[in-house]
Amino acid sequence: MMSASEFRNGVTVEIDNTLYTIIEFQHVKPGKGAAFVRTKLKNITSGGVVEKTFRPTEKVPKAHIDRKEMQYLYNDGELFYFMDNDTYEQISINSSDVGESLKFVKENEPVKIMSHNGNILGIEAPVIVELKITETEPGIKGDTATNVTKPAIVETGASINVPLFINIDDVIKIDTRTGEYIGRA
């Protein structure tokens, strides 16, 4: 249990049997009345953000999220398969639980599986990945205005906007959090 006065950004708490990550907190001391803590909480399972206020002495259970590095093996359409690199044990996760988190991750790449009390909450992909362009239109010579992009498809099948000078078979770096082109590899 932790009191609201001990809140910090990034801490995971459990409120009404739901896990939340503290995005933002602020201790408020108004001129009249008692002090309180104003927070923005992100629901880990749904991704929704709520605002909630607490009294500084109010106790909230702190939730421990386990992050285990595993290797993404393959996907058979309904299930995604992962292997623990230490024990070689394999687990499978429903595609509905994976969502869009693996759209920039190739097979045999490391990922982090987040779990709480044995329940899998989600998957953290590496922040930056290098992928090869499989489809894109050729850039037109002389069309070099700033910030002009074109659509391209990478080897995982995901679509991304890239600068005009990128061609098929170029290897690029992508930020998996935003899905944006960073540069050539």
Same domain, 97 and 134: no
Same domain, 51 and 76: no
- Which of 18, 38, 60 is the last residue in one of the domains? 60
Instruction: Give CA–CA dist 125/109, Å, rounded.
Output: 9
What CATH number corresponds to the domain at position 52? 2.30.30.30
Q: What value does the mean pLDDT take over residues 107-114?
A: 91
- Which of 124, 149, 165 is the last residue in one of the domains? 124
pLDDT of residue 65: 85
- Within 10 A of 45 (CB to CB), how many other CB atoms are there? 13
CB 73 within 8 A of CB 90: yes
What CATH number corresponds to the domain at position 153? 2.40.50.140
Same domain, 74 and 114: yes
Read off the pLDDT of residues 63-103 as tens digits, 9 standing for 90 and up: 888 889 999 999 888 899 999 989 999 998 888 778 788 88
Q: Is the pLDDT of residue 45 over 80?
A: no
pLDDT of residue 141: 63
Same domain, 53 and 72: no
**In the chain, how many domains are there?**
3
**Residue type at 35?**
A
pLDDT of residue 81: 93
- Which of 124, 140, 165 is the last residue in one of the domains? 124
Read off the pLDDT of residues 155-185 as tens digits, 9 standing for 90 and up: 999 999 998 888 889 999 999 888 899 988 8
Same domain, 72 and 116: yes
Which range marks the domain in which residue 29 is found?
A: 2-60
Same domain, 54 and 6: yes
pLDDT of residue 143: 59
Same domain, 89 and 117: yes
Read off the pLDDT of residues 114-159 as tens digits, 9 standing for 90 and up: 888 888 888 888 989 999 999 998 866 665 656 788 899 999 999 9
Same domain, 12 and 33: yes
CB 124 within 8 A of CB 115: no
pLDDT of residue 73: 93
Please spell the DSSP secondary structure of 93-104, one letter per residue.
Answer: EEHHHHTTTTTT
